[in-house]
Structure 1
């Protein structure tokens, strides 16, 4: 009976001394380039000038879409829902009821007084609605 408490105290001290420090985990957001076939159907709708350019964002205007690329902007006839369906496997997010942005075109995301903004390549700024904020938060932008 006298050895039991001493043995227990020694085991506790040993466990505390030999305890490993918590491992530090570093996370980084890696954005892979989009798969060529993910955007192929959508890119066929664009002109030759914009077809091979880098896709930055899509902005909805009634039954038209303004497609922003690094070669300039272009207006095409297509519903926003159909464009989202065609870009379903592409790396990008719907950030507003009328905006879709490519993941690799995002430079900065800012949330100020209940309003969100995304700064894209080329100086383009898009709004972020509260509805789609969790998507960007899960991607690591907030």
Structure 2
């Protein structure tokens, strides 16, 4: 009886193994998993120079603001040099009102004349990202809702 059970189990496992190798696995983007990924086409950023584009509406509560201008050509952000702060540490630049770094990103207590960025939050582009107008790689049915509750 034990021998028959072992042979039946071995046969069943062999059939399952052969069947699984015959199946092709596809990615969500309708290509085979083993296919080489094609690099996406380079798209231009929305907006032009800073201040030349309207703010981008947030799609969910607590979403970090999105960058409404291109950042190509900006220096790399380091903890010693951050080109974002050249403008966003102030409420107004060259007569234009712009979004200012929030208090949560500043060292406490905040000196209104010389605000200082918290060194734990110096890498702006970890959360605040520029946008491009590109077709999604996969279908997305997300509908944002930032209405107050």
TM-score of the two chains, using structure 2 as the length reference: 0.28
Query: More helix by proportion, 1 or 2?
Result: 1
Higher strand share: 1
Higher relative contact order (CA 8 A, sep 6+): 2
TM-score (norm 1): 0.29
